């Protein structure tokens, strides 16, 4: 944590967005770094309880009118918001790269996937249709409606400062809720620009609010009775803690946690195309993705040797540097702390007996010596007992595990505590079918390294990768952000009701 007194006076401050307008930073602040240079970009305000309360008050006040706004009118605002996102794509992506570090092409991909969710939310009039049954009984009609919950909150991670918030707030707001976003304090600027664009699109004041902060701000949201539901994406320990704390306080919760995504390469797979796909899945965004492939399971020792040799060549050719350089494949990590943690995992992997066949620890980028860079790393001889296999490293570290057959490979995946995603590379349809039918994870790819569902599906894992019953975006978002209410109605003939009946009613 930093105070105004120990940094340069000309460093800009980042505040909040409450009640349809920006709110200046005050109180405690934290440095926001440029990961490529290691320099402080800005200071973000850490909201205290009173600031969070103002955001909740604003959202609570805005809810009755927004709830009663026709879905088609909400959709028109979302259409305009989508248009503005595309018009300001360059500015949004520049902010992502400046504060997160990922290369601009990756930032564009992130923003594009987020916009796809906004597009899906634009169909809210169709998505909110209820059900109607005429003459469910003699003269009795029955129907259901999907009604908004109220004030809902989203707590999002640093690795996708545009996309992950857009997994949440467009759908929640389209359903008639008001929303409070608590983005990562490491890269907060994108959320604030999106809030400004939403206001420009015509969103009423208080419907969308952004509160920057740390754990204190999160706790204030989790404890407040006016918050009806919480969406979270982050590590498993925090996801589990948030799920428990929020449900203990009577809230609906979806908390997406960690991952250890496996890729199985079968002997019949094309090695060149498989490794090409997995290079992007493992080292894209410096491995800071919840869907990043971090374990490759090679079926057969001969295959493993060939795959590792190909990986070594590809890793040596990686272009690593600032994300603003369009020629680079990989940018820096988010922070020095993240780099230090990943180096500790690498050292632990060596100590536990794994073979480090590609070592990115000594990488120095010319003119960016203070940046948070690390090169691509590759381990061979990894086993289930090793920490580099068990834990989510969240960096450019890929582990190769050798298996003798498909059954052994699938057993590895099924035994792991995480069940986020997995993929298989094969040319055999029967093998693919066995894998997709039986593997114990939530998202599966066949010759697709990053099987992220499209916006009209839903995203989520199994086991300790998800706490809660519903995934994010897609059809599950409608279920998560609404209550189903069923009405049964009867209008008696000539205004006369039947006499008392003591049997249970039936049709």
Does any domain span residue 507?
no
Read off the CATH number of the domain in which 237 is found: 3.40.605.10
Q: Is the dihedral of CA 356, 378, 422, 156 positive or negative?
A: positive
Q: Do 188 and 287 lie in a common domain?
A: no
Residue 7 predicted with pLDDT over 60: no
Domain match, 386 and 428 both = yes
Domain containing residue 327: 261-446
Q: How far is the first Cα of the chain from the last one, in angstroms, to the nearest whole number?
A: 65
Per-residue model confidence (pLDDT) at position 3? 39
Are 281 and 396 members of one domain?
yes
Task: Tell me the pLDDT tens digit for each residue of 390-413.
Answer: 999 999 999 999 999 999 999 999
Is the pLDDT confidence value at 388 over 60?
Answer: yes
Instruction: Say whether pLDDT at 8 is over 60.
Output: no
CATH number at residue 378: 3.40.309.10
User: Is pLDDT above 80 for 304?
Assistant: yes
Question: What is the C-alpha to C-alpha distance for residues 130 and 143, in angstroms, rounded to an integer?
Answer: 7
Place of tokens 């390294």: 449
| pLDDT tens, position by position, 27-61 | 899 999 999 999 999 999 999 999 999 999 999 99
- Whether 503 is in a domain gets the answer no
269 belongs to a structural domain: yes
Q: Which of 393, 303, 309 is nearest to 348 (CA)?
A: 393
Q: Are 317 and 411 in the same domain?
A: yes
Percent of the chain with pLDDT over 90: 92
Residues 64, 119, single domain; the answer is yes
Q: Please say whether the beta carbons of 407 and 385 come within 8 A.
A: no
Based on the fold, state whether residues 51 and 22 are members of the same structural domain: yes
pLDDT of residue 493: 73
CA-CA-CA-CA dihedral for 448, 453, 455, 461, to nearest 10: -160
DSSP, res 396? S
User: Cα–Cα distance between 265 and 303 in angstroms, integer?
Assistant: 8
Residue 400 in domain: yes
| pLDDT number for residue 4 | 39
Q: Of these residues, 290, 298, 377, 399, which one is catalytic?
A: 290
Given a cut of 80, is residue 2 above it in pLDDT? no
Q: How much is the average pLDDT of 193-207?
A: 98
- Asked if 130 and 261 touch (Cβ cutoff 8 Å), the reply is no
Q: What integer best gives the mean pLDDT of the chain?
A: 95
| Pairing mode of beta strands 482-490, 140-148 | antiparallel
> Do 221 and 277 fall into the same domain?
no
**pLDDT class of 506 with cuts at 50, 70, 90:** confident
Task: pLDDT band for 9, please (50, 70, 90 cuts).
Answer: low
Residues 146 and 295 in one domain: no
Do 168 and 268 fall into the same domain?
A: no
Confidence tier at 499 by pLDDT (50, 70, 90): low
In this structure, is residue 168 part of a structural domain?
A: yes
Q: What pLDDT score does 504 carry?
A: 75
| pLDDT for res 283 | 98
Q: What is the mean pLDDT of residues 430-443?
A: 98
Q: Are 172 and 165 spatial neighbours (Cβ–Cβ below 8 Å)?
A: no
SS3 assignment, position 257:
coil
Same domain, 243 and 102: yes
Chain Cα centroid distance, residue 482 = 20
Asked if residues 459 and 452 have their Cβ atoms less than 8 Å apart, the reply is yes
Torsion, Cα 69 73 79 81, to 10 degrees, reads: -40
Instruction: Judge whether 290 counts as a catalytic residue.
Output: yes
Same domain? For 289 and 201 the reply is no
504 versus 51: which is more confidently predicted?
51
The number of folded domains in the chain is: 2
Is position 277 within any domain? yes
Q: What is the predicted pLDDT for the residue at 496?
A: 64
Helix ranges (H only) for 451-494 are: 474-480
**492 located within any domain:** no
* 403 is a domain residue: yes
Together in a domain, 135 and 278: no
């Amino acid at each position: 944590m930093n105070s105004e007194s120990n940094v340069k006076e000309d460093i800009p401050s980042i505040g909040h967005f409450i009640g349809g307008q920006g709110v200046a930073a005050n109180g405690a602040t934290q440095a926001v770094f440029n990961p490529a240079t290691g320099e402080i970009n800005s200071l973000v305000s850490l909201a205290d309880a009173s600031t969070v309360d103002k955001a909740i008050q604003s959202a609570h006040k805005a809810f009755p009118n927004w709830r009663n706004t026709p879905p088609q009118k909400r959709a028109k605002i979302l259409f305009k918001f989508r248009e503005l996102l595309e018009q300001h794509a360059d500015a949004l992506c520049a902010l992502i790269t400046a504060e997160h570090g990922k290369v601009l092409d990756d930032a564009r991909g992130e923003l594009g996937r987020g916009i796809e969710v906004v597009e899906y939310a634009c169909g809210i009039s169709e998505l909110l249709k209820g059900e109607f049954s005429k003459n469910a009984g003699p003269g009795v009609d029955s129907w259901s409606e999907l009604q908004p919950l109220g004030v809902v909150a989203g707590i999002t991670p640093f690795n996708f400062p545009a996309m992950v918030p857009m997994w949440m707030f467009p759908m929640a707001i389209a359903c008639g809720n008001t929303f409070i976003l608590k983005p990562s304090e490491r890269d907060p600027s994108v959320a604030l620009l999106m809030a400004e664009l939403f206001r420009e699109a015509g969103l009423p004041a208080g419907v969308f609010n952004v509160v920057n902060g740390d754990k204190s701000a999160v706790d204030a949201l989790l404890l407040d009775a006016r918050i009806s539901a919480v969406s979270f994406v982050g590590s498993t320990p925090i996801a589990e803690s948030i799920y428990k704390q929020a449900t203990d306080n009577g809230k609906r919760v979806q908390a997406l946690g960690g991952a250890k995504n496996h890729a199985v390469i079968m002997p019949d797979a094309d090695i060149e195309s498989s490794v090409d796909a997995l290079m992007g899945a493992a080292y894209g965004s410096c491995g800071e993705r919840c869907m990043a492939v971090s374990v490759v399971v090679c079926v057969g020792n001969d295959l493993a040797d060939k795959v590792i040799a190909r990986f070594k060549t590809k890793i040596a050719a990686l272009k690593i540097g600032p994300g603003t350089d369009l020629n680079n494949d990989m940018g820096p990590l988010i922070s020095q702390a993240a780099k230090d943690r990943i180096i500790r995992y690498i050292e632990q992997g060596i100590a536990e007996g794994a073979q480090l066949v590609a070592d990115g620890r000594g990488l120095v980028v010319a003119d960016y010596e203070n940046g948070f860079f690390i090169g691509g790393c590759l381990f061979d001889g990894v086993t289930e007992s090793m920490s580099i296999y068990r834990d989510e490293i969240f960096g450019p570290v890929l582990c190769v595990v050798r298996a003798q057959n498909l059954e052994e490979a699938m057993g590895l995946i099924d035994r792991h505590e995480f069940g986020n995603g997995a993929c298989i590379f094969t040319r055999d349809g029967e093998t693919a079918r066995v894998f997709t039918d039986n593997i114990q994870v939530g998202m599966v790819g066949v010759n697709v390294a990053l099987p992220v569902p499209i916006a009209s599906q839903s995203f989520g894992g199994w086991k300790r990768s998800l706490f809660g019953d519903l995934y994010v975006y897609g059809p599950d978002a409608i279920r998560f952000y609404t209550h189903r209410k069923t009405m049964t109605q009867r209008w008696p003939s000539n205004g006369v009701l039947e006499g008392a009946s003591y049997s249970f009613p039936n049709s």
